[in-house]
Structure 1
Protein backbone atom coordinates (compact mmCIF):
# COMPACT_ATOMS: atom_id res chain seq x y z
CA UNK A 1 0.00 0.00 0.00
CA UNK A 2 2.68 2.49 0.96
CA UNK A 3 4.72 1.69 -2.17
CA UNK A 4 1.68 2.39 -4.38
CA UNK A 5 1.07 5.69 -2.60
CA UNK A 6 4.68 6.75 -3.06
CA UNK A 7 4.64 5.73 -6.74
CA UNK A 8 1.50 7.79 -7.22
CA UNK A 9 3.20 10.69 -5.49
CA UNK A 10 6.12 10.64 -7.90
CA UNK A 11 3.76 10.55 -10.88
CA UNK A 12 1.63 13.42 -9.64
CA UNK A 13 4.59 15.63 -8.79
CA UNK A 14 6.07 15.00 -12.23
CA UNK A 15 2.79 15.74 -13.99
CA UNK A 16 2.01 18.92 -12.09
CA UNK A 17 -1.43 20.54 -12.30
CA UNK A 18 -3.31 23.57 -13.54
CA UNK A 19 -3.83 25.60 -10.39
CA UNK A 20 -7.10 27.37 -9.61
CA UNK A 21 -7.78 31.00 -8.79
CA UNK A 22 -8.84 30.67 -5.17
CA UNK A 23 -11.42 32.63 -3.20
CA UNK A 24 -11.62 35.89 -5.15
CA UNK A 25 -15.42 35.84 -5.37
CA UNK A 26 -16.21 34.14 -2.08
CA UNK A 27 -16.36 37.08 0.36
CA UNK A 28 -15.23 34.96 3.30
CA UNK A 29 -16.59 36.14 6.66
CA UNK A 30 -15.94 33.11 8.88
CA UNK A 31 -12.74 31.28 9.84
CA UNK A 32 -12.74 27.78 11.38
CA UNK A 33 -9.36 26.45 12.51
CA UNK A 34 -8.09 22.97 13.41
CA UNK A 35 -4.65 21.77 14.47
CA UNK A 36 -2.24 21.77 17.40
CA UNK A 37 -0.49 24.35 19.61
CA UNK A 38 0.65 26.28 16.55
CA UNK A 39 -3.04 27.25 16.16
CA UNK A 40 -4.58 26.84 19.65
CA UNK A 41 -5.96 30.21 20.79
CA UNK A 42 -6.23 29.23 24.49
CA UNK A 43 -3.01 27.37 25.30
CA UNK A 44 -1.02 29.44 22.86
CA UNK A 45 2.31 28.05 21.71
CA UNK A 46 3.76 31.49 21.05
CA UNK A 47 3.26 32.76 24.59
CA UNK A 48 1.05 35.59 23.37
CA UNK A 49 -1.80 35.87 20.86
CA UNK A 50 -2.31 33.00 18.43
CA UNK A 51 -2.33 33.64 14.69
CA UNK A 52 -6.08 32.89 14.15
CA UNK A 53 -6.97 35.78 16.47
CA UNK A 54 -4.75 38.13 14.49
CA UNK A 55 -6.03 36.79 11.15
CA UNK A 56 -9.67 37.18 12.14
CA UNK A 57 -8.95 40.76 13.19
CA UNK A 58 -6.97 41.62 10.04
CA UNK A 59 -9.69 40.26 7.72
CA UNK A 60 -12.74 41.03 9.90
CA UNK A 61 -13.73 37.37 10.27
CA UNK A 62 -15.88 35.52 12.76
CA UNK A 63 -13.52 32.97 14.37
CA UNK A 64 -14.39 29.45 15.52
CA UNK A 65 -11.17 27.84 16.84
CA UNK A 66 -11.00 24.08 17.43
CA UNK A 67 -7.22 23.47 17.39
CA UNK A 68 -5.82 22.09 20.64
CA UNK A 69 -2.32 22.03 22.03
CA UNK A 70 -0.52 18.69 21.80
CA UNK A 71 -2.82 17.32 19.11
CA UNK A 72 -1.93 14.83 16.43
CA UNK A 73 -4.10 13.93 13.47
CA UNK A 74 -5.31 10.74 15.15
CA UNK A 75 -4.47 9.04 18.42
CA UNK A 76 -5.10 5.76 16.62
CA UNK A 77 -1.93 6.44 14.61
CA UNK A 78 0.30 8.37 17.01
CA UNK A 79 -1.19 8.18 20.48
CA UNK A 80 -0.66 11.18 22.74
CA UNK A 81 -2.83 12.23 25.72
CA UNK A 82 -4.17 15.31 23.93
CA UNK A 83 -7.33 16.17 21.94
CA UNK A 84 -6.50 14.83 18.48
CA UNK A 85 -8.07 16.08 15.27
CA UNK A 86 -10.22 13.06 14.45
CA UNK A 87 -11.08 11.81 17.92
CA UNK A 88 -11.78 15.19 19.55
CA UNK A 89 -11.67 18.34 17.44
CA UNK A 90 -13.88 17.17 14.59
CA UNK A 91 -16.54 15.57 16.83
CA UNK A 92 -16.67 18.78 18.86
CA UNK A 93 -17.09 20.90 15.75
CA UNK A 94 -19.79 18.68 14.28
CA UNK A 95 -21.69 18.64 17.57
CA UNK A 96 -21.59 22.42 17.88
CA UNK A 97 -22.61 22.83 14.25
CA UNK A 98 -25.55 20.47 14.78
CA UNK A 99 -26.84 22.22 17.91
CA UNK A 100 -26.42 25.70 16.45
CA UNK A 101 -23.57 26.83 18.70
CA UNK A 102 -21.47 27.38 15.59
CA UNK A 103 -22.85 28.95 12.42
CA UNK A 104 -20.81 28.37 9.27
CA UNK A 105 -22.18 29.82 6.00
CA UNK A 106 -21.15 27.28 3.36
CA UNK A 107 -19.77 29.64 0.72
CA UNK A 108 -18.36 32.21 3.12
CA UNK A 109 -16.41 30.03 5.55
CA UNK A 110 -12.72 29.20 5.27
CA UNK A 111 -11.57 26.05 7.08
CA UNK A 112 -7.88 25.61 7.88
CA UNK A 113 -5.78 22.74 9.21
CA UNK A 114 -2.21 23.02 10.54
CA UNK A 115 -1.17 19.63 11.88
CA UNK A 116 1.89 17.38 11.84
CA UNK A 117 4.44 18.81 14.27
CA UNK A 118 3.43 16.42 17.05
CA UNK A 119 2.85 13.52 14.65
CA UNK A 120 6.45 13.55 13.44
CA UNK A 121 8.07 14.71 16.67
CA UNK A 122 9.47 13.20 19.84
CA UNK A 123 7.18 10.62 21.46
CA UNK A 124 5.77 10.04 17.97
CA UNK A 125 7.35 9.11 14.62
CA UNK A 126 10.79 10.51 15.48
CA UNK A 127 11.21 8.18 18.45
CA UNK A 128 8.46 5.52 18.22
CA UNK A 129 6.73 3.37 15.63
CA UNK A 130 3.19 4.56 16.30
CA UNK A 131 0.07 2.60 17.15
CA UNK A 132 -0.88 0.83 13.94
CA UNK A 133 -0.22 -2.87 13.61
CA UNK A 134 3.37 -3.13 12.45
CA UNK A 135 3.93 0.53 13.24
CA UNK A 136 2.90 3.85 11.69
CA UNK A 137 4.78 5.92 9.09
CA UNK A 138 4.76 9.37 7.54
CA UNK A 139 2.43 7.93 4.89
CA UNK A 140 -0.18 7.10 7.54
CA UNK A 141 -0.16 10.48 9.24
CA UNK A 142 -0.20 12.33 5.91
CA UNK A 143 -3.12 10.30 4.60
CA UNK A 144 -4.90 11.12 7.86
CA UNK A 145 -4.41 14.87 7.38
CA UNK A 146 -5.61 14.69 3.78
CA UNK A 147 -8.59 12.73 5.08
CA UNK A 148 -9.61 15.89 6.94
CA UNK A 149 -10.36 17.52 3.58
CA UNK A 150 -12.67 14.69 2.52
CA UNK A 151 -14.37 14.56 5.90
CA UNK A 152 -15.02 18.30 5.95
CA UNK A 153 -16.26 18.27 2.36
CA UNK A 154 -18.71 15.47 3.13
CA UNK A 155 -20.03 17.64 5.95
CA UNK A 156 -20.61 20.72 3.81
CA UNK A 157 -17.25 22.55 3.81
CA UNK A 158 -16.29 24.05 0.47
CA UNK A 159 -13.26 26.29 1.17
CA UNK A 160 -10.41 24.27 2.66
CA UNK A 161 -6.82 25.31 3.28
CA UNK A 162 -4.13 22.85 4.44
CA UNK A 163 -1.06 24.46 6.04
CA UNK A 164 1.94 22.21 5.55
CA UNK A 165 4.68 21.50 8.10
CA UNK A 166 7.39 24.07 8.77
CA UNK A 167 11.14 23.19 8.53
CA UNK A 168 11.24 21.57 11.95
CA UNK A 169 14.91 20.65 11.54
CA UNK A 170 15.64 24.35 12.11
CA UNK A 171 13.57 24.75 15.27
CA UNK A 172 15.72 24.57 18.43
CA UNK A 173 14.52 21.23 19.81
CA UNK A 174 15.20 19.44 16.49
CA UNK A 175 18.10 21.48 15.15
CA UNK A 176 21.68 20.34 14.79
CA UNK A 177 22.52 22.52 17.80
CA UNK A 178 19.85 21.09 20.07
CA UNK A 179 20.22 20.71 23.84
CA UNK A 180 18.19 19.09 26.65
CA UNK A 181 15.03 21.22 26.89
CA UNK A 182 11.49 21.15 28.31
CA UNK A 183 10.29 19.03 25.37
CA UNK A 184 13.05 16.38 25.48
CA UNK A 185 15.66 16.33 28.23
CA UNK A 186 17.10 12.88 27.53
CA UNK A 187 20.07 11.83 25.44
CA UNK A 188 19.83 12.45 21.71
CA UNK A 189 22.04 12.58 18.65
CA UNK A 190 21.45 16.13 17.43
CA UNK A 191 22.68 15.49 13.90
CA UNK A 192 20.55 12.37 13.51
CA UNK A 193 17.47 14.12 14.91
CA UNK A 194 17.87 17.06 12.58
CA UNK A 195 18.39 14.89 9.50
CA UNK A 196 15.49 12.62 10.41
CA UNK A 197 13.20 15.59 10.95
CA UNK A 198 14.28 17.13 7.64
CA UNK A 199 13.37 13.89 5.85
CA UNK A 200 10.08 13.35 7.69
CA UNK A 201 8.84 16.89 7.05
CA UNK A 202 9.84 17.04 3.41
CA UNK A 203 8.43 13.58 2.67
CA UNK A 204 5.18 14.44 4.43
CA UNK A 205 4.80 17.77 2.65
CA UNK A 206 5.53 16.29 -0.77
CA UNK A 207 3.13 13.42 -0.22
CA UNK A 208 0.44 15.77 1.06
CA UNK A 209 0.76 17.95 -2.03
CA UNK A 210 0.49 14.96 -4.33
CA UNK A 211 -2.52 13.46 -2.55
CA UNK A 212 -4.32 16.81 -2.41
CA UNK A 213 -3.56 17.47 -6.08
CA UNK A 214 -5.19 14.16 -6.89
CA UNK A 215 -8.14 14.67 -4.55
CA UNK A 216 -9.12 18.28 -5.18
CA UNK A 217 -10.62 17.89 -8.69
CA UNK A 218 -12.88 15.12 -7.38
CA UNK A 219 -14.59 17.39 -4.84
CA UNK A 220 -17.21 19.16 -6.93
CA UNK A 221 -17.70 22.80 -6.00
CA UNK A 222 -14.83 22.81 -3.49
CA UNK A 223 -11.85 25.13 -3.30
CA UNK A 224 -8.86 23.25 -1.88
CA UNK A 225 -5.59 25.04 -1.25
CA UNK A 226 -2.15 24.48 0.24
CA UNK A 227 -0.54 27.16 2.37
CA UNK A 228 3.21 26.63 2.10
CA UNK A 229 4.22 27.31 5.69
CA UNK A 230 7.46 25.43 5.05
CA UNK A 231 8.66 27.94 2.46
CA UNK A 232 7.41 30.92 4.46
CA UNK A 233 9.34 29.88 7.58
CA UNK A 234 12.40 29.02 5.52
CA UNK A 235 12.29 32.55 4.12
CA UNK A 236 11.89 34.01 7.61
CA UNK A 237 14.88 31.95 8.76
CA UNK A 238 17.14 33.11 5.93
CA UNK A 239 15.82 36.68 5.68
CA UNK A 240 14.80 37.66 9.21
CA UNK A 241 15.08 41.41 8.61
CA UNK A 242 12.09 41.19 6.27
CA UNK A 243 9.89 39.82 9.05
CA UNK A 244 11.26 40.32 12.57
CA UNK A 245 11.05 43.79 14.08
CA UNK A 246 12.04 43.56 17.74
CA UNK A 247 14.45 45.71 19.69
CA UNK A 248 17.04 42.95 20.36
CA UNK A 249 19.45 41.57 17.74
CA UNK A 250 17.55 39.36 15.28
CA UNK A 251 17.72 35.68 16.25
CA UNK A 252 16.57 32.66 14.23
CA UNK A 253 18.47 29.89 16.05
CA UNK A 254 17.63 30.56 19.70
CA UNK A 255 14.28 31.29 21.31
CA UNK A 256 12.67 34.08 23.30
CA UNK A 257 11.88 31.70 26.15
CA UNK A 258 14.73 29.19 26.34
CA UNK A 259 15.35 26.61 29.08
CA UNK A 260 18.45 24.43 29.10
CA UNK A 261 17.90 21.34 31.26
CA UNK A 262 20.33 18.89 32.73
CA UNK A 263 19.96 15.39 31.32
CA UNK A 264 16.88 13.92 32.94
CA UNK A 265 15.49 17.37 33.74
CA UNK A 266 16.57 17.68 37.36
CA UNK A 267 17.71 21.30 36.93
CA UNK A 268 17.33 23.99 34.32
CA UNK A 269 18.62 27.41 33.39
CA UNK A 270 16.14 29.68 31.64
CA UNK A 271 16.47 32.97 29.81
CA UNK A 272 13.49 35.01 28.67
CA UNK A 273 13.22 38.02 26.37
CA UNK A 274 10.66 40.60 27.43
CA UNK A 275 8.62 43.31 25.79
CA UNK A 276 9.50 44.24 22.23
CA UNK A 277 12.71 42.17 22.42
CA UNK A 278 10.51 39.09 21.90
CA UNK A 279 9.73 40.22 18.36
CA UNK A 280 13.38 39.77 17.39
CA UNK A 281 13.03 35.97 17.65
CA UNK A 282 11.71 33.54 15.07
CA UNK A 283 10.98 30.97 17.82
CA UNK A 284 9.16 31.55 21.09
CA UNK A 285 10.58 28.46 22.79
CA UNK A 286 12.34 25.31 21.61
CA UNK A 287 9.27 24.03 19.73
CA UNK A 288 6.99 26.94 18.79
CA UNK A 289 7.11 29.94 16.45
CA UNK A 290 7.22 33.36 18.06
CA UNK A 291 4.26 35.70 18.25
CA UNK A 292 5.89 37.91 15.61
CA UNK A 293 6.27 34.91 13.28
CA UNK A 294 2.61 34.13 13.86
CA UNK A 295 1.62 37.70 13.01
CA UNK A 296 3.28 37.06 9.65
CA UNK A 297 1.28 33.84 9.23
CA UNK A 298 -1.89 35.70 10.18
CA UNK A 299 -1.31 38.40 7.56
CA UNK A 300 -0.91 35.76 4.88
CA UNK A 301 -4.04 33.86 5.88
CA UNK A 302 -5.96 37.14 6.04
CA UNK A 303 -4.93 37.81 2.44
CA UNK A 304 -6.27 34.39 1.48
CA UNK A 305 -9.57 35.05 3.26
CA UNK A 306 -9.91 38.40 1.49
CA UNK A 307 -9.57 36.63 -1.87
CA UNK A 308 -6.23 38.23 -2.66
CA UNK A 309 -3.34 36.54 -4.38
CA UNK A 310 -0.95 35.15 -1.80
CA UNK A 311 2.66 34.19 -2.43
CA UNK A 312 2.52 31.15 -0.17
CA UNK A 313 -0.86 29.73 -1.23
CA UNK A 314 -1.61 27.42 -4.14
CA UNK A 315 -5.21 26.60 -4.99
CA UNK A 316 -5.73 23.16 -6.47
CA UNK A 317 -9.43 23.61 -7.25
Structure 2
Protein backbone atom coordinates (compact mmCIF):
# COMPACT_ATOMS: atom_id res chain seq x y z
CA UNK A 1 0.00 0.00 0.00
CA UNK A 2 2.09 2.87 -1.32
CA UNK A 3 1.86 6.01 -3.37
CA UNK A 4 -1.37 7.72 -2.30
CA UNK A 5 0.43 11.06 -1.97
CA UNK A 6 1.47 10.74 -5.62
CA UNK A 7 -2.10 11.58 -6.62
CA UNK A 8 -2.36 14.70 -4.48
CA UNK A 9 -1.82 18.41 -4.85
CA UNK A 10 1.97 18.12 -4.88
CA UNK A 11 1.93 15.57 -7.69
CA UNK A 12 -0.48 14.34 -10.38
CA UNK A 13 -3.50 16.37 -9.27
CA UNK A 14 -1.76 19.67 -10.02
CA UNK A 15 0.48 18.28 -12.80
CA UNK A 16 3.44 18.60 -10.44
CA UNK A 17 4.72 15.04 -10.75
CA UNK A 18 8.28 14.26 -11.84
CA UNK A 19 8.59 15.14 -15.51
CA UNK A 20 7.54 12.30 -17.79
CA UNK A 21 5.88 10.22 -15.09
CA UNK A 22 2.41 8.76 -15.74
CA UNK A 23 -0.09 6.66 -13.76
CA UNK A 24 1.51 3.48 -15.08
CA UNK A 25 4.66 4.40 -13.16
CA UNK A 26 2.63 4.37 -9.94
CA UNK A 27 1.49 0.77 -10.40
CA UNK A 28 4.90 -0.29 -11.70
CA UNK A 29 6.42 0.87 -8.41
CA UNK A 30 4.40 -1.81 -6.59
CA UNK A 31 5.82 -4.58 -8.74
CA UNK A 32 9.35 -3.22 -8.51
CA UNK A 33 9.05 -3.49 -4.72
CA UNK A 34 7.66 -7.01 -5.11
CA UNK A 35 10.72 -7.90 -7.23
CA UNK A 36 13.02 -7.00 -4.36
CA UNK A 37 10.91 -8.81 -1.77
CA UNK A 38 10.66 -11.87 -4.00
CA UNK A 39 14.44 -11.91 -4.45
CA UNK A 40 14.71 -11.98 -0.65
CA UNK A 41 12.43 -15.02 -0.40
CA UNK A 42 8.90 -13.60 -0.14
CA UNK A 43 6.21 -15.68 -1.85
CA UNK A 44 2.95 -14.24 -0.45
CA UNK A 45 1.94 -10.69 -1.31
CA UNK A 46 -0.98 -8.45 -0.39
CA UNK A 47 -1.51 -5.42 -2.62
CA UNK A 48 -3.88 -2.54 -1.90
CA UNK A 49 -5.44 -0.43 -4.59
CA UNK A 50 -5.95 3.29 -4.09
CA UNK A 51 -8.67 4.58 -1.80
CA UNK A 52 -11.41 6.92 -3.14
CA UNK A 53 -9.54 10.13 -2.45
CA UNK A 54 -12.23 12.20 -4.13
CA UNK A 55 -14.36 11.51 -1.03
CA UNK A 56 -11.79 12.90 1.42
CA UNK A 57 -12.61 16.47 2.55
CA UNK A 58 -9.30 17.66 1.08
CA UNK A 59 -10.50 16.81 -2.44
CA UNK A 60 -14.27 16.39 -2.12
CA UNK A 61 -16.92 18.32 -4.01
CA UNK A 62 -19.00 18.95 -0.90
CA UNK A 63 -20.36 22.39 -0.09
CA UNK A 64 -20.32 21.70 3.64
CA UNK A 65 -17.18 19.63 4.20
CA UNK A 66 -15.19 20.01 1.01
CA UNK A 67 -12.63 22.54 2.18
CA UNK A 68 -11.70 25.61 0.08
CA UNK A 69 -8.23 25.56 1.64
CA UNK A 70 -6.46 23.37 4.20
CA UNK A 71 -3.17 23.24 6.03
CA UNK A 72 -2.14 20.60 3.49
CA UNK A 73 -3.20 22.79 0.55
CA UNK A 74 -3.32 26.46 1.59
CA UNK A 75 -3.45 27.77 -1.99
CA UNK A 76 -6.18 25.39 -3.14
CA UNK A 77 -8.16 26.57 -6.20
CA UNK A 78 -11.83 27.40 -5.74
CA UNK A 79 -13.27 24.90 -8.27
CA UNK A 80 -13.98 21.96 -5.95
CA UNK A 81 -15.90 20.12 -8.66
CA UNK A 82 -12.92 20.04 -11.02
CA UNK A 83 -10.64 18.84 -8.22
CA UNK A 84 -12.96 16.00 -7.20
CA UNK A 85 -13.53 14.88 -10.80
CA UNK A 86 -9.83 14.80 -11.65
CA UNK A 87 -9.04 12.89 -8.46
CA UNK A 88 -11.76 10.34 -9.25
CA UNK A 89 -10.41 9.93 -12.78
CA UNK A 90 -6.87 9.39 -11.50
CA UNK A 91 -7.66 6.86 -8.82
CA UNK A 92 -10.09 4.79 -10.85
CA UNK A 93 -7.70 4.72 -13.80
CA UNK A 94 -4.77 3.63 -11.64
CA UNK A 95 -6.91 0.95 -10.00
CA UNK A 96 -7.96 -0.46 -13.37
CA UNK A 97 -4.33 -0.54 -14.50
CA UNK A 98 -3.39 -2.36 -11.30
CA UNK A 99 -6.23 -4.86 -11.63
CA UNK A 100 -5.24 -5.96 -15.11
CA UNK A 101 -1.51 -5.65 -14.51
CA UNK A 102 -1.71 -7.97 -11.51
CA UNK A 103 -3.35 -10.72 -13.55
CA UNK A 104 -0.81 -10.26 -16.33
CA UNK A 105 2.27 -10.25 -14.09
CA UNK A 106 1.17 -13.29 -12.07
CA UNK A 107 -0.42 -15.53 -14.70
CA UNK A 108 0.94 -14.46 -18.08
CA UNK A 109 4.39 -13.00 -17.54
CA UNK A 110 5.01 -15.30 -14.56
CA UNK A 111 7.03 -12.52 -13.03
CA UNK A 112 7.17 -14.23 -9.63
CA UNK A 113 7.00 -18.03 -10.01
CA UNK A 114 5.25 -19.88 -7.18
CA UNK A 115 4.02 -16.60 -5.74
CA UNK A 116 0.56 -16.01 -4.27
CA UNK A 117 -0.94 -12.53 -4.64
CA UNK A 118 -4.07 -10.98 -3.16
CA UNK A 119 -5.34 -7.63 -4.43
CA UNK A 120 -7.44 -5.82 -1.81
CA UNK A 121 -10.07 -3.40 -3.11
CA UNK A 122 -9.68 -0.58 -0.61
CA UNK A 123 -11.52 1.74 -2.99
CA UNK A 124 -14.69 -0.35 -2.83
CA UNK A 125 -14.56 -0.87 0.94
CA UNK A 126 -14.28 2.84 1.73
CA UNK A 127 -16.91 3.67 -0.89
CA UNK A 128 -19.28 1.24 0.81
CA UNK A 129 -18.66 2.84 4.20
CA UNK A 130 -19.21 6.30 2.73
CA UNK A 131 -22.49 5.21 1.16
CA UNK A 132 -23.83 3.62 4.36
CA UNK A 133 -21.85 4.92 7.35
CA UNK A 134 -24.44 3.79 9.90
CA UNK A 135 -23.58 0.17 9.12
CA UNK A 136 -19.96 0.69 10.15
CA UNK A 137 -19.72 3.73 12.41
CA UNK A 138 -21.46 5.17 15.47
CA UNK A 139 -23.75 7.72 13.83
CA UNK A 140 -25.47 9.02 16.96
CA UNK A 141 -24.08 12.53 16.53
CA UNK A 142 -23.21 12.76 12.83
CA UNK A 143 -25.21 12.63 9.64
CA UNK A 144 -22.63 13.10 6.89
CA UNK A 145 -19.90 10.63 5.95
CA UNK A 146 -17.66 13.54 5.03
CA UNK A 147 -17.46 14.85 8.61
CA UNK A 148 -14.00 14.81 10.15
CA UNK A 149 -12.87 15.05 13.74
CA UNK A 150 -9.67 17.11 13.97
CA UNK A 151 -10.03 20.64 12.60
CA UNK A 152 -7.14 23.06 12.09
CA UNK A 153 -6.82 26.47 10.55
CA UNK A 154 -4.99 26.87 7.25
CA UNK A 155 -1.73 27.64 9.05
CA UNK A 156 -2.04 24.44 11.09
CA UNK A 157 -1.52 26.38 14.31
CA UNK A 158 -4.99 26.37 15.88
CA UNK A 159 -6.64 22.94 16.12
CA UNK A 160 -9.65 21.52 17.94
CA UNK A 161 -11.56 18.24 18.19
CA UNK A 162 -15.16 18.04 17.06
CA UNK A 163 -17.29 17.16 20.13
CA UNK A 164 -14.12 17.32 22.26
CA UNK A 165 -13.03 13.89 21.01
CA UNK A 166 -16.06 12.30 22.71
CA UNK A 167 -17.15 10.26 19.67
CA UNK A 168 -14.01 9.07 17.84
CA UNK A 169 -15.82 6.03 16.44
CA UNK A 170 -18.30 8.26 14.60
CA UNK A 171 -15.94 9.68 12.01
CA UNK A 172 -14.71 8.38 8.67
CA UNK A 173 -11.98 10.99 8.57
CA UNK A 174 -9.45 12.08 11.19
CA UNK A 175 -8.75 15.35 9.40
CA UNK A 176 -9.19 16.74 5.89
CA UNK A 177 -7.03 14.03 4.35
CA UNK A 178 -6.53 11.02 6.61
CA UNK A 179 -8.93 8.21 7.62
CA UNK A 180 -9.95 8.04 11.27
CA UNK A 181 -8.81 5.52 13.83
CA UNK A 182 -12.14 3.71 13.47
CA UNK A 183 -11.58 3.43 9.74
CA UNK A 184 -8.17 1.90 10.31
CA UNK A 185 -9.80 -0.62 12.63
CA UNK A 186 -12.37 -1.56 9.97
CA UNK A 187 -9.68 -1.89 7.32
CA UNK A 188 -7.57 -4.07 9.62
CA UNK A 189 -10.54 -6.36 10.31
CA UNK A 190 -11.14 -6.74 6.59
CA UNK A 191 -7.44 -7.39 5.92
CA UNK A 192 -7.60 -10.22 8.45
CA UNK A 193 -10.40 -11.67 6.34
CA UNK A 194 -8.26 -11.26 3.22
CA UNK A 195 -5.47 -13.26 4.84
CA UNK A 196 -7.98 -15.99 5.65
CA UNK A 197 -9.10 -16.03 2.02
CA UNK A 198 -12.60 -14.94 2.98
CA UNK A 199 -12.92 -11.29 1.98
CA UNK A 200 -15.31 -10.23 -0.74
CA UNK A 201 -13.04 -7.23 -1.29
CA UNK A 202 -10.10 -9.33 -2.47
CA UNK A 203 -9.05 -11.17 -5.62
CA UNK A 204 -6.52 -13.98 -5.35
CA UNK A 205 -3.96 -15.11 -7.93
CA UNK A 206 -1.34 -17.85 -7.77
CA UNK A 207 1.31 -19.31 -10.02
CA UNK A 208 1.57 -22.77 -8.48
CA UNK A 209 4.69 -24.86 -8.12
CA UNK A 210 3.20 -27.53 -10.41
CA UNK A 211 2.50 -25.03 -13.17
CA UNK A 212 -1.17 -24.58 -12.35
CA UNK A 213 -2.50 -21.06 -12.49
CA UNK A 214 -5.41 -19.91 -10.40
CA UNK A 215 -7.35 -16.71 -10.11
TM range (shorter): 0.7 to 0.9
Other-structure match for 1:120: 7
Other-structure match for 1:152: 37
Structure 1's 241 and 164: CA in aligned 2 closer, same or farther, altered over 3 A? same
Is this contact kept in 2: 1:122–1:184, CA < 8 A? Answer: yes
Other-structure match for 2:201: 312
Residue 288, structure 1, aligned to residue 178, structure 2: yes
**What is the CA distance between 1:288 and its match in structure 2?**
0.6
Other-structure match for 1:249: 142
**What is the CA distance between 1:145 and its match in structure 2?**
2.0
**TM-score (ref. length: structure 1):** 0.58
Other-structure match for 2:84: 194
**Unmatched tracts of structure 2, length 5 or more:** 207-215
Other-structure match for 1:238: 131
Q: How does 1:1-317 map to 2 (within 5 A)?
A: 114-132=1-19, 135-176=20-61, 177-188=66-77, 189-217=79-107, 218=110, 219-245=112-138, 247-261=140-154, 265=155, 270-305=160-195, 307-317=196-206
What RMSD, in angstroms, separates the aligned Cα atoms of the two structures?
2.0
Structure 1's 313 and 266: CA in aligned 2 closer, same or farther, altered over 3 A? closer
Secondary structure (helix, strand or coil) at the match of 1:285 reads coil
Is this contact kept in 1: 2:129–2:136, CA < 8 A? Answer: yes
**Unmatched tracts of structure 1, length 5 or more:** 1-113
**CA distances 1:110-153 after superposition (whole Å, capped 9, x unpaired):** xxxx1221011111111234224xx3121212211232223222
**TM-score (ref. length: structure 2):** 0.84
Once residues 267 and 303 of structure 1 are traced to their aligned partners in structure 2, the CA distance between those partners, rounded to angstroms, is: 40
Structure 1's 128 and 206: CA in aligned 2 closer, same or farther, altered over 3 A? same
Other-structure match for 1:92: none
Task: Say how many residue pairs are matched.
Answer: 198
Once residues 184 and 275 of structure 1 are traced to their aligned partners in structure 2, the CA distance between those partners, rounded to angstroms, is: 24
